[in-house]
Each structure stands twice: as C-alpha cells, then as structure tokens.
Structure 1
Amino acid sequence: MEAGSVYDGEGVAERARTATLDIFATDESASVQATMFKMGQRVIAENAGVEAVTYALPNKHYIPVEMKYIGVDNTTPANADVFAPVAAPSGLISATISRQ
C-alpha cells in the first residue's frame, strides 16, 4: 500500500492532522484564508490519494484595547499588543483546496 493512497486512511488522517497543526501554529500569514490554503496544499502534496481538502474556521475578531489613558499607543496597528476577544464568532470562513 502506497503512503497517502486512497487505501491509507489512517496515514492520511495523521499526516493531515500534523500538517494542519504545524502550519496553523507557525504560519505568519496575514489572513485565515492564506493559512488554510497552505494547510490544504501540504495535505495534497503529502497524500497522492487526496483530491481535495476542506477547512471551515470561525471568523473571530480581536479588538485592540484603548490604552491612551495610561500613555500607551495600542491602537496603531504596528504598536498593538493587547487585544480583547469578541465573544461570538462573526461567521465561518471555509475553503476547499483541490488538485488541478
């Protein structure tokens, strides 16, 4: 049985999980969509039997906390370090990455 073939379900699942966690945890991407694309590309590259990969992630926002009252500029994007999460997701971002 060839690794990544349609008959290698457990191997495919493990490689997909590893690729997803590795890239999601370390990617310096500016967007969730770009990160999902990289994750899907790697899953497809490592598994010949995988034709398409679909991800769906919540669109969560984190708002910079206003801190000028203590003399800290935390609202300029380059300076923002402290963020408050919004309680509910604003939607669901999904992507399907497939072979050509």
Structure 2
Amino acid sequence: MGIGLVIAIITMIAAGIHAFTGALVVFMYLEQLEFFYAQAPNGLKSFGNALCMTSISLENYVSSLLVTMVTKISIEDHMSRSIPGNLNKDHLDKH
C-alpha cells in the first residue's frame, strides 16, 4: 500500500499522464482489497471488501460531481468551458 500511496501522490502532481493512474489502481486498490481481506475476521471478510469497493465508488462519484459543478459554473458565468465536451475539437491551450 505504501507504493500505491507514493504513486497516488505522483499521479496527483502529473494528472495528465494516465499511465500513473493505471499503476495506482494496480498497486493501491488491489493491495487495499487484499489488506482488508487478510486483516478482517472470517465472518467479516466480504463486508471489508464491500466497504473498500464502496469507498472507491464514492471517490468516483465525488470526482464526477466536481467535474459537473465546474462545467455548470463555467457555463453560467459565460466563460469558455473549463472541461470541453470534445477534447479533440476544443483545445484548452487555444482559449
């Protein structure tokens, strides 16, 4: 999990490089699942795994909510969209 946390920090710094995100999933989420499974009592192993997966899904929902809020605020203020609908056509460096 330590390697996964270090990779998570690197991923936050270099958010545009998606290879780090894949390594984060491999090293952190899988190790986190294994940690919950290994440390939980026999009757709570599936609950620990479910709790881990719930935290991951909650993280995805919060990030999706943030993207939606940024897009809505930028449209209401008549600014150019911070997160364009089509990255192939809308280049942020040209705004």
Task: Pick the TM interval, shorter chain.
Answer: 0.3 to 0.5
* TM-score, with length taken from structure 2: 0.35
Which structure would you say has the larger RCO, counting Cα contacts within 8 Å and 6 or more residues apart?
Answer: 1
**Relative to total residues, which structure has the larger helix share, 1 or 2?**
2
